[in-house]
Amino acid sequence: MRNIAIVSAAIITFLMVGCNDKPESEMGHNENSSTSEKMKNNGDAHVEEGEHNEEEEGEEGVVILTMQQAETIGLETKTLEERNLGNNIKVTGMLELFPQDQANISPFVGGNVSSIKVVPGDNVRKGQVLAYIEHPDIIAMQQEYQEKNDELVFLKQDFERKQTLYDKGVSSGKEFQMAQSQYRSTTSSVNGLRSQLRLLGINPDKVAEGQIYSAVPITTPISGYVDEVMISLGDYVAQQSKMFSISDNSKIYVNFKVYEKDIKQIKKGQQIHFSTASRPDELLKATVRSVGKTFNTDPKALEVLADIENKDKDLLPGMYVEGRIVQGEKMVLAVPEDAIVKNGEKTFIFVQDNDKKEENKLRFNMVPVNIGISDLGYVEISLPSGISKDITIVTKGAYILSSEMIKSELGDDD
């Protein structure tokens, strides 16, 4: 508290010095000008000037700052707005992805990484090549397929010939059965190798024509963003070893924790408003998808899953959120909590005065308000009669303005 007081005092001193100090030459010039005007106009102009200064410096509930002073104290303003506030159930949760919207990608066969086509953060589409791996076993598999496929052509002809002879009673049944067995066995081997080549991303028809691929592509089964790349060029990657992690953030959802006493008020299809640490001033909407049937032990709460829209894909898995389940919601005038200044039992806000504009200066009036419900960092307010809703309020730095006003009033009393 002592450190805060010292910092506040330093800022206030800066403001007072910036507002009141004038160069001696300027003061001398003003005195000479006033004397000259007094001599010319029998003192009338001097009286008017004195009255104007007294009004500007001593007006109650008003603070005047230069643009530089406002920037120094980090003053922020915003147009007064209406927000949905109400008595509601407050919940917390985490942004997550369903299992089908995330993928860990591994190779079907071991090999050495010969090329990497993406980096973390890249947007990829389903079927896009992420990397290539190569290994002698991959080449040997293609050679075996070529040999078996060529052998199958001969065995098919031999089988058909012996079947014809057997049907005519010329060939023995044993020869026909052996030819049939060899043909079926080789057909099975060729079909198996053909399927393996397809899994590796190799065209078996091209291989049958004599083409051999030295490397095979590693592709993504879903569209989304590359979260992790766990390989480097030249690495040997064993079968089923994790190479990439991909996630589709467009289908993200919220996993809320709801305590036992509030469960009876949760229903499927209900709306939940929530905000994230990265966007605290923006209320996002979620719709209850399902209500869990099993309580977690720590804390003793039920999981409530809610769907959200993430068109901009700026909401990421793992983000912590604070939300509320709508109960008796209503539109009210609301300001951030930092905009409220308390003085004893009274509460105030600072409103920017746009009617009395001066070059390079900002004028703020202290306006009393009544406060109502608080929700997600905002407070309901009621303005005095005669005050328009179309006003600009101080959202950050209100307490510093209050301290400056008190300091000015104490100075006037001296």
Per-residue model confidence (pLDDT) at position 356: 77
CATH of the domain spanning 103-246: 2.40.50.100
Per-residue model confidence (pLDDT) at position 49: 37
Q: Tens digit of pLDDT for each residue in 137-175?
A: 999 999 999 999 999 989 988 888 888 888 787 777 888
- Dist. CA 112–CA 133, nearest whole Å: 5
Domain ranges in the chain are 2-31+60-82+332-413, 88-97+252-327, 103-246
Residue 122 has pLDDT above 90, yes or no: yes
Per-residue model confidence (pLDDT) at position 222: 95
Average pLDDT, the chain: 81
Q: Most confidently modeled of 132-141, 279-288, 309-318, 394-403? A: 132-141
Query: Between these two residues, 8 and 357, which has the higher pLDDT value?
Result: 357
- Dist. CA 125–CA 404, nearest whole Å: 58
Per-residue model confidence (pLDDT) at position 113: 96
Beta strand 346-352 with 361-375: parallel, antiparallel or unpaired?
antiparallel
- Rounded to 5 degrees, φ, ψ at 215 are -135, 150
Q: What is the mean pLDDT of residues 219-226?
A: 94
Same CATH topology for 88-97+252-327 and 103-246: the answer is no
Q: Which CATH architecture has domain 2-31+60-82+332-413?
A: Beta Barrel (2.40)
- Dist. CA 401–CA 180, nearest whole Å: 97
Q: Which of 79, 70, 9, 8 is nearest to 363 (CA)?
A: 70
CATH of the domain spanning 88-97+252-327: 2.40.30.170
Per-residue model confidence (pLDDT) at position 19: 45
Per-residue model confidence (pLDDT) at position 386: 85
Reading the block at residue 393, the tokens are 């309020």
